[in-house]
Structure 1
Amino acid sequence: MSLPRYLQYKDSGAVIVGAVPHHWQMKPVKAVASINDDVLPETTEPTYELTYVDIGSVSLGSGIESTETFTFKDAPSRARRLVRDGDVIVSTVRTYLKAIASIVEPPENLVVSTGFAIVRPLDMIAPGFAKYALQSPTFVDAVISRSTGVSYPAINASDLARIALPVPPRDEQSAIASFLNRETSKIDSLIAEQEKLLKLLAEKRQATISHAVTHGLNPDVPMKDSGVAWLGNVPAHWRVVPLKRLLADVKAGPFGSALTKEMYVSSGYRVYGQEQVIPADFSIGDYYIDDSKYRELQQYSVRGGDILISCVGTFGKIAIVPENVEPGIINPRLIRVRVGASLSGRYLEAVLRSSVVFEQLSMVSRGGTMDVINIGTLNAVTLAVPPMREQEGLLAFLDEETTKLDQLKSEAENAIDLLKERRGALISAAVTGKIDVREHASALAAAA
């Protein structure tokens, strides 16, 4: 889309903003909006029910993705800020910097975390325009530049209030908001299509793995009843065996005070945890123990080919240890598995990622929530195991098929990233006056 520029510009006085249309004004947020007007008083009735929004449940573009319901007495102490229609909530914590959302027709009991600044537009700025001005990359960059702190960077409300915004006349604000409503809606639809594709690819990947490790590759092979409900029929020549009989060793990470962060040093032997397993990247991380502590905890050491399983909070995250891994141990949030002679480590990794195993684990895990997996839980799993040569053939097939799916996934993720970049650039250009959308917005309105 090619859009004209304004005829005359002037220096905005803000490096991040650059030049703005000559007739626009630059105003600090505090001049066009109030901040943090409404707070639930401590005298609120203990039984008052509130709908709560935390920082982690808000994202740029998608807005509020989830809420929780509490009574006042049971709510977190940070659940205090009331919001109203037209407000914009802006995270002041840099870790969640893109937690920005506009509020439209909220329930009267909607309360957000004190980690948000509640920006309430005054008469000078239209809520529709404010929504985009405060989620534009230009504004986000300004927040970043004013954030302070090392481990938990944040911006306080008074500093946020001093950030200057370009403010066009009200009629132009409406035109810009109308234009962006239409254009971002188109982009959001394209993003939604790619996200739907990602979900379908993930389901296809899971189905491909699950079918391969329960039925094999030959559709004409004789089948037998496995005797296990969640396995169903399996090839007649496969063994149906409890997982514990297939393992040479299984070890949960050190318990209690055997390993604490106070024992970590700047270099030495690595301590591996979810930080490495979740992304399957053993090159990252900076937790170490010294030689004496390593000798003491050597029973928890890792070596190439070990399978590490996240056992707390994020079960299902599994990684196989590369052969060239730095010497080290697992931490308490992992289980280390070593396979026996009749099982390939890579094949077990694939099986553990299948829905068949997940269903078994979800049935026997504590509360069925998959929050905690232990060795006893793993021992309860039953597998259908093909001969070793067939395991290698299945792995070759899965490598080929999942590589294709992963390529499609990567393309979809790249498309989403580009669409989000385009969305942000369009918003930034419109709310800083780098493009003149007035005629375009008028034409769209006339055609509606």
Structure 2
Amino acid sequence: MAPEGGGSVIRRRFKYFMPERNEFSTTGEETLLSVSEYYGVKPRSEAFDADAAEGRAASLEGYRKVRAGDFVMNYMLAWKGAYGVSDHDGIVSPAYAVYKINPKYADQRFIHHRLRSDHMRSAFRARSKGIIESRLRLYPDAFLSMELELPDRTTQTAIADFLDRETGRIDQLIEKKQRLVELQKIRRLSEVSQLLSRGTRSPMNWKPSGLDWMADIPEHWQWVRMKDVCSEVIDCKNRTPPQVDEGQYWVIRTTCIKDGQFVQSGGYPTDEAAYREWTKRGKPSPGDVLITREAPMGEACLYPDGLSACLGQRMMLYRPDPKIVRATYLVHTIYSAIGQHYVGLRRKGSTVGHLRVPEVHNFPCLLPPLNEQDGILARLDSNLDTYTKLGESIRASINRLKEYRSALITAAVTGQIDVATWDKQGQTDRRLDEIEEAMQA
């Protein structure tokens, strides 16, 4: 069949219209690109670098070149959807695969949407090799041998135009709701900072805080360092514990901690021998406070119950003295204006910074008596429910928008809907209104 016109469909192996591009940078000075599960291929930002600094190569010479319009795949995460068509020239890790799209047969935008549909993600997962899910790999030879049905170029372009427009609308709503989530965080930070510098009731006497950006503080409160209120401050071993997929112990990495919460999926398993070696300085236990030194810096949370784990690189923990300070109070201190100012000074204007071990020991804390700490924590707990419910509602709305976006892409690229009449029927408007009404309920 002809590749264009007449509503025809062709079925071809990827290797015939998307051959691999094997070009490599000689300087490493091109724009570094990242490949995400949601957006596909984008220039890597400083914020992303901070999260991914661990394991980052010192030189990018020898990285794979990418041309605008190329299809880029992280074949180690293809089963999760980490691929897409790049809008930018740049470079990616040599561990990624880069494919040139032949414009005679395929609209680059259509390929981006088609391959990121649920149907294709399932197909890629089925063709990936590996014993366990976290080790699945879709190697280039397996990808290139797969087949894809392609409608004529005119139809591809019409579908791509439709999806660019409709997904753009959905993405704008998602970004708006993500900004609401960030606004909630700012409001919560303001409340925490106010209570941790002023308390729940006005004292009789005040004294200067000693900081040019902070007002007076209660006279009986004390400035202390974390090491002054902890029985131990434990640093990690300066090497990465081995990953052992069948291991019964867990390695806590910096990616395990986000916004004061513990995210176990950010770490990985290891065996008993490694656990014993990496806990010689001390075993983490409930009541401890975990803190990240880098990538990202200054994230903290309580150590979770029921977990046998060791610290990975760039991790430390505080063991609060319960006669002096509550563990949760220390976590709030790290996220308060006091803690964020301290972290910000060490970031020196860059999102990629680090706390040195002595700086973790000397982290400042404005300390009231235990009974006042309890009052502050009770007030924060009583207001937390409001923030939590609103945050959960916004995040649920975001998830529904993402699900609808994914379903719309799949329906359009597989011919389940008529993109020419969709707008006239007001389908997207109705679905978006339903999602918004569900959030207000």
TM-score, length-scaled by structure 2:
0.76
The C-alpha deviation readout for 1:172-215, integer Å capped at 9, x for no partner, is 22221222122111111111111111211222222221221112
Separation (CA, whole Å) in 2 of partners of 1:264 and 1:89:
28
Q: Give the equivalent residue in structure 2 for 1:16.
A: none
* 1:191–1:419 Cα contact (<8 Å) kept: yes
Separation (CA, whole Å) in 2 of partners of 1:411 and 1:111:
38
The C-alpha deviation readout for 1:383-402, integer Å capped at 9, x for no partner, is 22222222111101111223
Q: Give the equivalent residue in structure 1 for 2:359.
A: 377
Say which SS state the counterpart of residue 300 (structure 1) adopts: coil
Pairwise CA distance, 1:234: 1.4
Q: Give the equivalent residue in structure 1 for 2:160.
A: 177
Q: Give the equivalent residue in structure 2 for 1:60.
A: 38
Q: Give the equivalent residue in structure 2 for 1:29.
A: 14
* 1:51–1:67 Cα contact (<8 Å) kept: no
Q: Give the equivalent residue in structure 2 for 1:82.
A: 66
Pairwise CA distance, 1:264: 12
Q: Give the equivalent residue in structure 2 for 1:111.
A: 91
* 2:223–2:366 Cα contact (<8 Å) kept: yes
Q: Does 1:51 align with 2:31?
A: yes
Residues 442, 415 of structure 1: CA spacing in aligned structure 2 closer, same or farther, 3 A cutoff?
closer
Residues 406, 360 of structure 1: CA spacing in aligned structure 2 closer, same or farther, 3 A cutoff?
same
Pairwise CA distance, 1:121: 3.1
* 2:297–2:353 Cα contact (<8 Å) kept: yes
Residues 81, 204 of structure 1: CA spacing in aligned structure 2 closer, same or farther, 3 A cutoff?
same
Q: Give the equivalent residue in structure 1 for 2:116.
A: 135
Separation (CA, whole Å) in 2 of partners of 1:364 and 1:292:
31
Q: How does 1:217-256 map to 2 (within 5 A)?
A: 217-218=200-201, 222-229=205-212, 231-254=214-237
Separation (CA, whole Å) in 1 of partners of 2:225 and 2:196:
15
Q: Give the equivalent residue in structure 2 for 1:307.
A: 289
Separation (CA, whole Å) in 1 of partners of 2:158 and 2:400:
25
Separation (CA, whole Å) in 1 of partners of 2:345 and 2:307:
36
Q: Give the equivalent residue in structure 1 for 2:435.
A: none
Q: Percent sequence identity over matched residues?
A: 22
The C-alpha deviation readout for 1:14-50, integer Å capped at 9, x for no partner, is xxxxxxxx9544333334x232246247xx5x5x842
Residues 119, 145 of structure 1: CA spacing in aligned structure 2 closer, same or farther, 3 A cutoff?
farther
Say which SS state the counterpart of residue 81 (structure 1) adopts: strand
Q: Give the equivalent residue in structure 1 for 2:413.
A: 431
* 1:298–1:329 Cα contact (<8 Å) kept: no
The C-alpha deviation readout for 1:143-170, integer Å capped at 9, x for no partner, is 1111113464222223222333232223
Residues 160, 87 of structure 1: CA spacing in aligned structure 2 closer, same or farther, 3 A cutoff?
same
The letter for the 1-side match of 2:330 is L
Q: Over the residues paired in the alignment, what is the CA RMSD in angstroms? A: 3.9
Separation (CA, whole Å) in 1 of partners of 2:255 and 2:154:
53
* 1:230–1:360 Cα contact (<8 Å) kept: no
Bigger drift between 142-151 and 275-284 goes to 275-284
Residues 366, 50 of structure 1: CA spacing in aligned structure 2 closer, same or farther, 3 A cutoff?
closer
Residues 173, 306 of structure 1: CA spacing in aligned structure 2 closer, same or farther, 3 A cutoff?
closer
Pairwise CA distance, 1:286: 4.0
Q: Which runs of 5+ in 2 are unaligned?
A: 1-6, 50-56, 427-441
Separation (CA, whole Å) in 2 of partners of 1:266 and 1:222:
56
* 1:176–1:441 Cα contact (<8 Å) kept: no
Q: Choose 1 or 2 for highest CA Rg.
A: 1
Residues 89, 301 of structure 1: CA spacing in aligned structure 2 closer, same or farther, 3 A cutoff?
closer
Q: Does 1:401 align with 2:392?
A: no
Q: Give the equivalent residue in structure 2 for 1:214.
A: 197
Separation (CA, whole Å) in 2 of partners of 1:144 and 1:289:
32
Pairwise CA distance, 1:96: 7.5
Q: Does 1:126 align with 2:114?
A: no
Aligned residues, how many?
402
Q: Does 1:392 align with 2:369?
A: no
Residues 83, 443 of structure 1: CA spacing in aligned structure 2 closer, same or farther, 3 A cutoff?
farther
Match of 2:127 among 127, 146, 157: 146
Say which SS state the counterpart of residue 137 (structure 2) adopts: coil
The letter for the 1-side match of 2:152 is P
The letter for the 2-side match of 1:184 is T
Q: Give the equivalent residue in structure 2 for 1:18.
A: none
Separation (CA, whole Å) in 2 of partners of 1:263 and 1:436:
49
The letter for the 1-side match of 2:11 is M
Q: How does 1:347-366 map to 2 (within 5 A)?
A: 347-363=329-345
Say which SS state the counterpart of residue 157 (structure 2) adopts: helix
Q: Give the equivalent residue in structure 2 for 1:7.
A: none
